[in-house]
Amino acid sequence: MARRLVSTAPGFAADFAAMMSAKREADAALGETVRSILAQVRARGDEALFEYAARFDGVAPASLRLGDEEIAAAEAACAPEALAALDLAAERIMHFHRRQLPADEFYTDEVGASLGWRWTPIDSVGLYVPGGTASYPSSVLMNAMPARVAGVGRVVMVTPARDGHINPLTLAAARRAGITEIYRVGGAQAVAALAFGTRSIAPVDKIVGPGNAYVAEAKRLVFGVVGIDSVAGPSEILVIADAANDPDWIAADLLSQAEHDASSQSILMTDGAAFADQVEAAVARRLARLPRAAIAGASWRDFGAIIVVDDLKVAADLSNRIAPEHLELAVDAPEVLLNHIRHAGAIFLGRHTPEAMGDYIAGPNHVLPTSRTARFSSGLSVLDFLKRSTLLSLTAAAAAKLGPAAITLAEAEGLDAHAGSIAARLPQRDH
């Protein structure tokens, strides 16, 4: 049973703080294991990758890279309705992300200086796709489509082949995203291969995509050698709901994230104590028939919470402290409550907008900040696959107007060579 908190209770502040500080991430001890894997792949390349494939995935592939025929055969094995759903998702995700493309700028100011910026794509990106307790074709589209929109020239996909098997729909999604370079390698070793390169896998400039604790730790350790999207923690959802909702709908929404992983967290905030009871009973009923009940049940028992508040504005304030990955505002006028929300990865407005819709088909990206990082970061977007370079062009007249002040600041910092570089271009200056 999830913990129950009441915002007006005397011990609420301490109980809420304890919930916030509860550790959900994997033990840091795995760091040494990951460091060893990274070192082995960096030193031994493909040889290490084949060894890890046999040890962790139970497979000894003849080749790490999937051939075009294998990818085409996988697509042919998919149900037509599943392929049609992928097509719709790909179209909507592509359309949404095209609207994120930023504009270049170049203008001339009042002193005659021309300045601005331009955006250019990253050359190569590696996409990690999980293949363990669950497989996510949707993640292929969510990670690859914004990269394609940004103009990334090379998108590489890595995914584990557990017992030699890769979800055919994952490969079908890759085809729709224009990915033709796919490798059957997973775990921290896949991250190492993308970061450092091997004989079979050329290194990339940035690594994106979700994974287990080993993958997350590997991404953290290779950051700096390559860019990464984020170090993602367990999934989380906060639902703010009033008593006018169907409790079964809200229970389904809470379990939609709980079934990801036993470390996931689902929280309900409501201003109705009786409604909270109804949702809790609905969760129990749904768990009894859920295929991933063991995972979802552990998540709900260990990390789930129901918080009863006397006013939904209090719920908004508490939400800002949590900064949830996913936030549902299942209320009559969600836009009113939205005005009080400052920190959330993705926000779902109204009773008919379940978070799961955003996971697949709606268009916004489902790769989002977790573990309170929505306080300072955003979900994956086209901007994650672009770099911004600033531009500056000075005429002689503009340099003469701006130069003296720049020299003053350089000399104040004791950087005489800086001052000399500017002074050399100015008339009647000692340099």
What is the set of active-site residues? 325-326
DSSP bridge pairs for 228: 207
Both tokens of 384, joined, read 């994650």
Rounded distance between C-alpha atoms, residue 14 and residue 23, angstroms: 16
- Comparing C-alpha atoms, which of 203, 232, 66 is closest to residue 125? 203
Question: How far is C-alpha 385 from the chain's CA centre?
Answer: 13
Rounded distance between C-alpha atoms, residue 126 and residue 249, angstroms: 37
255-277 residues labelled b (16+ CB within 10 A) or e (exposed): bbbbbbbbbbbbbbbbbbeebbe
SS (H, E, C) 214-253: HHHHHHHHHECCEEECCCCCCCEEEEEECCCCCHHHHHHH
Other CB atoms within a 10 A radius of the CB of residue 309 amount to 21
Distances (CA, A) of 426 to 111, 393, 416, 418: 15, 15, 15, 13
Angle at 426 between CA 423 and CA 428, to 5 degrees: 100
Both tokens of 87, joined, read 């097509």
- Comparing C-alpha atoms, which of 429, 368, 383, 382 is closest to residue 403? 429
Are 234 and 268 in contact, with CB atoms under 8 Å apart?
no
359-391 residues labelled b (16+ CB within 10 A) or e (exposed): bbbbbbbbbbbbbbbbeeeebbbbbbbbeeeee
Both tokens of 169, joined, read 């729909």
